[in-house]
Amino acid sequence: MPDRSIIGTVLGIPPFAALGVAVAFTGLGALIDVLRMGTVGVVFRIGFFLGCLLAVMWVRRRSLFGPMVQPPLLVAVLVPVIVLLVGPPRSGGGMTETLLLVGAPLINSFPTMATTTAVVLAIGVGRLLLQRYDDPELRLRRVAGAERTGAAKADTRKPSTAKSTTTTAPGRVRRDGRKPGQTVADRARERAREKRLEAERAEAEGSPAPRDVSERPGSGAARGAARTSRSPRQS
């Protein structure tokens, strides 16, 4: 929105054009009053106020500085020039008469200048603050910053989540007797080692070794051994 006027759908004018608008309204009002009554009056006040107000509202947002500070300069330059050029004829009083002729309109226009300057500054500052949020570049920067912040937060959450899902409670044993992180093959080797140790301990103590599942009564290996023992010996 740096090229927009106070209305978002209307393009703003360059700063020189805004200065020209204010000079035209102010100069026309001062000229009419000086020709009509010899000094500035109501027409000048209206033209000056409208010209400065239109300039600060119509100018581009990025060129607001000139229209915001131009009201005192317009009065200080245009009023003396117009009064000296088209004012009432001087009677030859010299420098004192010239100063009075120029100073009186400036003094009379001071309240109008102060009021107009305050209004123009308020509008300019309001545009700088409010129209800043409509700038596409700033909007893109805010969106990109929010996306980067969200991605950074997601990255910081991922390790803790993965760790919590892949680990188990300390000391927890599965139903098949496996410990956390132990594979089926490791558990089978551990069970075979335990059986060997039990068998060796039983032999050392002189007690029969515990039979394996394959040696239980009713198993296929036990029935085969029984049939072999019952078969007649061959001479």
pLDDT on residue 196: 85
pLDDT at 20 over 90: yes
Q: Residue 107 burial by CB count (10 A; 0-12/13-18/19+): exposed, middle or buried?
A: exposed
pLDDT on residue 164: 45
pLDDT on residue 137: 58
> In this structure, are residues 67 and 125 in contact, taking their beta carbons and an 8 Å threshold?
no
Q: Residue 235 burial by CB count (10 A; 0-12/13-18/19+): exposed, middle or buried?
A: exposed
Place of tokens 């051994």: 225
Query: Could you give the CA distance from residue 150 to residue 161 in angstroms, rounded to a whole number?
Result: 16
Average pLDDT for 133-161:
63
C-alpha angle with apex 191: 190 to 192, nearest 5 degrees? 90
Residue 30 confidence class, pLDDT cut points 50, 70, 90: very high
Residue 183 confidence class, pLDDT cut points 50, 70, 90: confident
Highest mean pLDDT among 39-53, 125-139, 144-158, 185-199: 39-53
Residue 184 confidence class, pLDDT cut points 50, 70, 90: confident
Instruction: Give the pLDDT confidence of 89-143 residue by residue, as tens digits.
Output: 666 666 777 788 888 889 989 999 999 999 999 999 999 888 876 555 555 666 6
pLDDT at 8 over 90: no
Place of tokens 């500035």: 40
Name the average pLDDT for the chain: 77
DSSP string for residues in 49-84: HHHHHHHHHHB-GGG-HHHHHHHHHHHHHHHHHHHH
pLDDT at 62 over 70: yes
